[in-house]
Structure 1
Amino acid sequence: MNKPELQLRTVQVTRYVTPLREGGSMPAIAEANDGFLYVLKFRGAGQGIKALIAELIGGEIARILGFKIPELVFATLDEAFGRTEPDEEIQDLLKASVGLNLALHYLSGAITFDPLVSPVDPLLASKIVWLDCFLTNMDRTPRNTNMLIWHKELWLIDHGASLYFHHNIQNWEEQAIKPFTLIKDHVLLPYATELDAADAEFRQLLNSDKIREVVALIPDEWLNLDGSFASAEANRSVYSGFLAARLLQSQIFVNQAKDAK
C-alpha cells in the first residue's frame, strides 16, 4: 500500500484566550472545538498569509527531518468570532483573519531555550543550523531563539520568517542557490561543528518528492493572491522548485555557515 499523503487537521476556533504580543504578528493563545489550546497565527497579521505558508513549510520540513515540532493545524475563524473583543486592535486583526488560519499546539509549561542553561550537543546544533540555512530562517538568534524546552526536550517553533524569497518571488531561481549570510547571527552556530554530518544525513532524509508532499499542504486560497502566476498550482511549483534546488546545492549554504562560524 502507498503511504498516505501528509495531512493537517482542521479545527474551529471557539475562544480567544490571550494575545502573545511578540513581534509584529500578534499571535494569540486560542481554544478550538477539540478542547485543546493553540498558538494561533493570523492571516490578517502584518506579514500576512506568506508568513503562514513559511510556518507550514518550515514546520513540516523540520518534522520530516526528525525535529520535535508542535502539531500544526488549520484553524478556521468564523465571521462572528471576536465581535465582543474590547481591544480595537485585536478586533481588527480578528476581522481581517476570517477564514483559514494556521495554529500550533500550545506547549503548556514550556520554557524558553537558553544554550547556557540547556547545552545542545554539536550534532543537534549542526542539524538546526542546517535546517535554518535551508529554510533561510532569520529568526533563531540569541535575542529570540524560537526554541522551547518542554518535558526536558528541545522543540522548534515559529518558522514564519523563513523563505523570505517569496516576498520578491520573481527571481526565485537565483535566490535558491544563494548562501544564507544571516546565519552569522544564529544562536547555535558556535556549537555547530558537525555540519557535514548533518548535511549527509538530511540529504538522505529529504528529497524532491517529500518536498512536494509538504508544499501540497498549502491551501489554494493562500496562493497567487496578487495574480503573479497563472494559477495557484504554478505558485505552488515555485516553492517546490526553490526548496529542491536549495537541497541540491546544500554545500553552498553549508560552506557559508562554516565560514561564518
Structure 2
Amino acid sequence: MSARLGRFVETFRGSSFPTLAETTDGERLVIKMRGAGNGAGVLLAEFLVNRLASRCGLPVPDARVVEIAAGHPWEFGTDEFDDLLQKSAGPNQGLAWIPAARQMREDEVLALPEEMVSQIVTLDLAFANLDRTRDSGNLLLDPAGKCWIVDHGSCRFLYREGKAFPKELPVGHVFRGREELFDAGWLAGMTPELVEEVVGELPDLWLREEGISREVVVGRVGDCLGMGR
C-alpha cells in the first residue's frame, strides 16, 4: 500500500534531490521524486533492490511508494525544488529513514568485516551497481554502529540481458578485487514468489515512463538471481 506525502522536513545533497518528509500518517521517509532528471528507471531499480533486500533481512532501507498530490504547496527550498515537486505529482519513492546516520569514511569502509563486504559485493554483482566508489561509497553508519547499504539507483540490471552474473565489479568500485566474497546465499530469500509480489507493487506510471513491462522486469530480476537457469 502506498503512503501519501504530508510535509517536507529537510532536503539533502544529491542529483535526485533526496528529501526527508513525513507522510500523512506520521512516518518519516526519504523521498526521491520522479520529476528529477534521472527519470523513472532510477526509481524502478532502487525500489526493486531495496525492497527485495530489505524483505530478505539485508541491511538495506526498505522502500515504498509515496503519492504526491498535484499542486502540493511550496514549503521551502528554491524555485528549482518547487519545479521538481510540481513535475512529480503522483507516485514517487520513499526510503526508510535512518535517524542520525552518516556517510562512512573510506577507512571505515575498508575496515568492514568480511561478512558485510560479502553482502555488498553480492548485491552489487547481482544487480550491476555502477556507483559504489571510494568517493561515493553509498554506505551509512547509524549511531548503533550498524552499516547500511544505500543508493541503488545506479544498478543497471534492468538493461542487462543474459543470465550469467558478471565476474568483476566495475572499475572504481571500492571492493573491486574482492569478488571471491560473492555468496548467492545472501540472495536465497529472493524467491520467485517474493519477486512477483514486489514487482506487483511497482506503479504503472513508472513502468510506462520507462517503456518496460512487469513481465520483462520479473525476467530481468530472475536473471540476476539465477532463476532462469
Which TM bucket (shorter chain)?
Answer: 0.7 to 0.9
Displacement of 1:54 after TM fit? 0.8
Contact 2:30 2:97 in 1 (8 A): yes
Is structure 2 residue 41 aligned with structure 1 residue 50?
yes
Match of 2:114 in 1: 122
Contact 1:129 1:186 in 2 (8 A): no
Instruction: Determine the C-alpha separation between the residues in 1 that align with 2:25 and 2:99.
Output: 16
Displacement of 1:71 after TM fit? 3.1
Displacement of 1:31 after TM fit? 2.0
Sequence identity of aligned pairs in percent?
A: 27
Instruction: Determine the C-alpha separation between the residues in 1 that align with 2:36 and 2:134.
Output: 24
Contact 2:126 2:165 in 1 (8 A): no
Provide the secondary structure at the position in 1 that maps to 2:186.
Answer: helix
Instruction: Determine the C-alpha separation between the residues in 2 that align with 1:51 and 1:115.
Output: 25
Instruction: Determine the C-alpha separation between the residues in 1 that align with 2:227 and 2:171.
Output: 19
Q: Which amino acid in structure 1 is aligned with residue 60 of structure 2?
A: I
Give the one of 148, 162, 187 matched to 1:155. Answer: 148
Relative to structure 1, is the Cα distance of residues 222 and 117 closer, same or farther in structure 2, using a 3 angstrom cutoff?
closer
Instruction: Determine the C-alpha separation between the residues in 2 that align with 1:214 and 1:86.
Output: 33
Instruction: Determine the C-alpha separation between the residues in 2 that align with 1:204 and 1:97.
Output: 35
Match of 2:166 in 1: 179
Instruction: Determine the C-alpha separation between the residues in 2 that align with 1:72 and 1:247.
Output: 20
Contact 2:59 2:147 in 1 (8 A): yes
Q: Which runs of 5+ in 1 are unaligned?
A: 1-8, 167-171, 230-234, 252-261
Instruction: Determine the C-alpha separation between the residues in 1 that align with 2:168 and 2:80.
Output: 35
Instruction: Determine the C-alpha separation between the residues in 1 that align with 2:205 and 2:227.
Output: 31
Q: Which amino acid in structure 2 is aligned with residue 81 of structure 1?
A: H
Is structure 2 residue 13 aligned with structure 1 residue 25?
no
Contact 1:146 1:156 in 2 (8 A): yes
- TM-score (norm: length of structure 2): 0.86
Match of 2:97 in 1: 106
User: Deviations for 1:57-86, whole angstroms, at most 9, x for unmatched residues?
Assistant: 010222244312223222111123134546
Relative to structure 1, is the Cα distance of residues 86 and 211 closer, same or farther in structure 2, using a 3 angstrom cutoff?
closer
User: Deviations for 1:13-72, whole angstroms, at most 9, x for unmatched residues?
Assistant: 1222222121x2112122222223221100101111111111110102222443122232
Give the one of 123, 138, 156 matched to 2:130. Answer: 138
User: Deviations for 1:211-243, whole angstroms, at most 9, x for unmatched residues?
Assistant: 2222222122221336x56xxxxx111111112
Aligned length: 227
Relative to structure 1, is the Cα distance of residues 173 and 111 closer, same or farther in structure 2, using a 3 angstrom cutoff?
closer
Give the one of 186, 190, 199 matched to 1:202. Answer: 186
Contact 1:15 1:31 in 2 (8 A): yes
Relative to structure 1, is the Cα distance of residues 225 and 79 closer, same or farther in structure 2, using a 3 angstrom cutoff?
same
Match of 2:206 in 1: 222
Contact 1:177 1:249 in 2 (8 A): no
Contact 2:8 2:75 in 1 (8 A): no
Q: Which runs of 5+ in 2 are unaligned?
A: none
More helix as a share of residues: 1
Provide the secondary structure at the position in 2 that maps to 1:141.
Answer: coil
- TM-score (norm: length of structure 1): 0.76
Provide the secondary structure at the position in 2 that maps to 1:238.
Answer: helix
Relative to structure 1, is the Cα distance of residues 153 and 178 closer, same or farther in structure 2, using a 3 angstrom cutoff?
closer
Q: How does 1:50-89 map to 2 (within 5 A)?
A: 50-83=41-74, 85=76, 87-89=78-80
Q: Which amino acid in structure 1 is aligned with residue 221 of structure 2?
A: L
Q: Which amino acid in structure 2 is aligned with residue 205 of structure 1?
A: G
